Amino acid sequence: MVKRLPELKDLVKAIGRPLRVATMCSGTESPLLALDKIGAATGQIYDAPLGVDHVFSCEIEPFKQAYIERNFAPPILFRDIRELDGDQATTAYGALVDVPGNVDMLVAGTSCVDYSNLNNEKKDIDEAGESGQTFRGMMTWIKKHEPPIVILENVCGAPWDKIAERFRQQGYQADYTRLDTKRYYIPHTRTRVYLVAVRKNPGETFIPADFPTEFKAIGSLASKEVKDKEGNAKKMKPTGKKLVNRLSEDADVAEQKARPPHTGPHTTAFAW
């Protein structure tokens, strides 16, 4: 997939430093695993490895906290996303520490329990359920620190129109699409909705109008071989390049370069 997006080389060089990433409701930290693979591929293909600075994680389940600590050792592992609206929050070890805000990209998957089709007593995003509380905790941190890029994942039954509108109210361009993991090199069927939000100034546009189509086109190319009428493999032109171009335009790059580097002990440029 990285071969089909040569603009990633320009993006890595334009940023000029590791990408500062935070995760909330971190689970198995699959975004960091994916970024590892992307970094390896950009290094091998374009001689421009994407580095990642893991700023913090946030996970409330003790067994997942243990998994994250063993496998990723984040500089900070917060316990509860609902506490991240303040200047300080409690870690998984019970310490009270400052909440970082110097982040380029936030990846989150807030609680889905109140949106699940298996729940007979669903609650809306504005109610006092777990899903609404975790979403509002995340949005309060976003409103305070304004990360340039946010990626949010949740079940298909979540109120996605409302969620996208909340991001727009905070000055983001936001769009979402439904995807199945089996179309992206993962041997597992897991249909979820993913929202991408990009911080913008009035009049700016970063996410193309055909955003869902472009993402699905990348997936279909990755998961199956397309053949012509004679049965020969057919080359198809990928359509996902526009999104990379939009996300790497001058406004985002300037904002990222203007921020001071994170000084935590876990800055890593992956060398593969």
Cβ atoms 63, 26 nearer than 8 A: no
More confident residue, 128 or 42: 42
Lowest mean pLDDT among 81-85, 206-210, 217-221: 217-221
Q: Has residue 162 got a pLDDT over 80?
A: yes
Q: Would the CA dihedral through 24, 26, 31, 33 be positive or negative?
A: positive
If you average pLDDT over residues 195-200, what whole number do you get?
Answer: 91
- Rounded CA gap, 24 and 152, in Å? 10
- Terminal-to-terminal C-alpha distance of the chain: 17
- Global pTM reads 0.78
Q: Please name the amino acid found at residue 132.
A: G
Name the residue type at position 24: M
Q: Of the ranges 25-29, 124-128, 141-145, 196-200, which one carries the lowest mean pLDDT score?
A: 124-128
Give the model's confidence band at 265: pLDDT under 50 very low, under 70 low, under 90 confident, else very high.
very low
**Segment 120-145 mean pLDDT:** 85
| Catalytic residue flag (residue 112) | yes
Choosing from 25, 58, 112, 156, the catalytic residue is: 112
Return d(Cα 10, Cα 4) in angstroms, integer. 14
Three-class SS of residue 179? strand
Q: Give the bridge partners for 197, in sequence order.
A: 150, 174
* pLDDT greater than 60 at residue 36: yes
Residue in the structure block whose two tokens are 């504005």: 126
Place of tokens 């996902």: 240
- Looking at every residue in the chain, the average pLDDT score rounds to 80
- Is the per-residue pLDDT at 28 higher than 80? yes
The answer to which of 40-44, 75-79, 112-116, 130-134 has the lowest mean pLDDT is 112-116
What pLDDT band is residue 147 in, cutting at 50, 70 and 90? Answer: very high
Rounded-to-integer distance, Cα 54 and Cα 176, Å: 25
58 or 4: whose pLDDT is higher?
Answer: 58
CA distance 34 to 48: 16
Averaged pLDDT, 173-202: 85
| Stretch 92-117: mean pLDDT | 89
Cα dihedral 3→150→208→243 (10° resolution): -10
Kindly tell me if the per-residue pLDDT of 214 is higher than 80.
no
User: What is the model's pLDDT at position 228?
Assistant: 55
pLDDT of 130 > 90? The answer is no
Q: How far is CA 228 from the centre of its chain?
A: 36
pLDDT at 266 over 80: no
pLDDT at 264: 46
Sign of the CA dihedral running 110, 116, 118, 123: positive
The predicted pLDDT at position 121 comes to 74
The listed range with the strongest mean pLDDT (13-17, 37-41, 184-188, 222-226) is: 37-41
pLDDT at 255 over 50: no
Q: How far apart are CA 147 and CA 238, in angstroms?
A: 28
The proportion of the chain whose per-residue pLDDT surpasses 90, expressed as a percent, equals 48
| Average of per-residue pLDDT across 157-186 | 89
Q: Is the pLDDT of residue 246 over 70?
A: no
